[in-house]
Amino acid sequence: MEKIFELKEMWFNNTDKEVVLSGILHKDFLQYDTKVRLSIQRLNALINILQKKNENFDLYDHMCCFNLGFITEYNVVLPATLDRNFTQVELMGEEQAPLKQIRA
């Protein structure tokens, strides 16, 4: 069975090159809370996938901004009513998905 990441929350700011995603990783019957760091360039792709899965989804309805001087911190908390599950390829992108190794 494939790993599924259930996205709960996103943190990023206007100066960082990464976004921190927190959620639950599901594999078979196991599940655990985890955090994933992705390139900020993947954020737009994730938002597009969320909009395709949830037709009335608007990111700004769930976003909070915190001004800390010259840094603006953004937090997005996604409600459980949304389809917020991502496969590993959706999360990481096809070019960044790890290769499967076959060993003898």
Identify the bridge partners of residue 12 per DSSP, sorted by sequence position: 74
Residue 51 lies in a domain: yes
**Confidence check: pLDDT of 99 > 70:** no
In a domain, 101, yes or no: no
Residue 17 lies in a domain: yes
Residue 103, in any domain of the structure: no
Half-sphere CA count of 47, side-chain side, radius 13 A: 15
46 backbone dihedrals φ, ψ, rounded to 5°: -65, -40
Q: Is residue 104 part of a domain?
A: no
Q: What are the phi and psi torsion angles at 17 (to 5°)?
A: -100, 5
Angle (nearest 5°) at CA 36 between 60 and 94: 90
Q: Per-residue pLDDT tens for 56-77?
A: 888 889 999 999 889 999 999 9
Residue 102 in domain: no
pLDDT at 2: 83
Residue position matching structure tokens 């206007």: 14
Domain that holds residue 70: 4-92
What would the 3-class secondary structure string for 63-88 be? EEEEEECCEEEEEEECCCCCCCEEEH
**Residue 78 — pLDDT band, cuts 50, 70, 90?**
very high
- Can you give the pTM of this predicted structure? 0.83
